[in-house]
Amino acid sequence: MTIDLTAQRSLLIFSGLLLTACVSERVVLLPSPDGRQTAVVVRDAKGETVLDTPYAGLQWRGREASTYRSTAAEVQEQFGSALAAQPPRARSFVLYFEAGGDVLTAESQLEIKAIEREIANRPASEVLVIGHTDTVGSLEANDKLSLKRAAAAREFLIAVGIPKEKIEAAGRGEREPLVASGDEVAEPKNRRVEISVR
């Protein structure tokens, strides 16, 4: 992510990863909730600064900027109310299918209850269901099968009481494998639907 500060002087909040209060004062990079490495490039009239560790900060005193190290306590004190006002982060679930069809594995059938609970805890939730296949079969057949799997997962969710208007379904065929494989490989981890609850 890049922020250009040459003309911008306002309050910014970026997905909980980056916080700035009066950009002319400070920018702080927050840790990623999933532990992944994140970074931000801050540009101003004097050049670029890369913040690439949790709680790395950039602070201005007049026109001079200097890097500094913030803390979780300082972020909470400065930005606690803004952080509390953010909607909860999306949560993802993966359901797997038996070969060649839209029948969930036994383990994945048990996961439906966890998805139902997550949706119930978010009164204004939206659910995105994306179907995938392994590489066995033609591209066209796998496109149809992935959409069929997404529709089947959508129906499971509707059956447990999730309003159908909250659920969007799409298929990606074999284009986005979880496990890279050659053509005509029956990889169980690629026969899946990914469900994002936000």
What's the pLDDT at 129? 97
Structural domain for 20, as ranges: 2-85
User: Please, are residues 3 and 40 in contact by the beta-carbon 8 Å criterion?
Assistant: yes
Same-domain pairing of 66 and 44: yes
What's the pLDDT at 69? 93
- Residues facing 129 on adjacent strands: 169, 195
Strand order in the sheet with 47-51: 2-4, 40-44, 47-51
Same-domain pairing of 40 and 126: no
What's the pLDDT at 25? 77
Residue 188 makes CB contacts below 8 A (sequence gap 6+) with 96, 99, 134
Backbone angles phi, psi at 47, to 5 degrees: 135, -155
User: Please, are residues 129 and 154 in contact by the beta-carbon 8 Å criterion?
Assistant: yes
What's the pLDDT at 3? 52
Mean pLDDT split into 10-residue runs, the chain, 198 residues? 40 40 70 83 85 90 86 91 86 92 90 89 89 96 96 92 92 96 95 95
Structure tokens at 46: 């004097």
Q: Which of these three, 30, 60, 85, is where a domain ends?
A: 85
CATH code: domain of residue 164: 3.30.1330.60
Total domain count for the chain?
2
Residue range 115-150, pLDDT digits in tens:
989 988 887 889 999 999 999 999 999 999 999 999
Same-domain pairing of 79 and 115: no
CB atoms within 10 A of CB 13: 15
Same-domain pairing of 107 and 183: yes
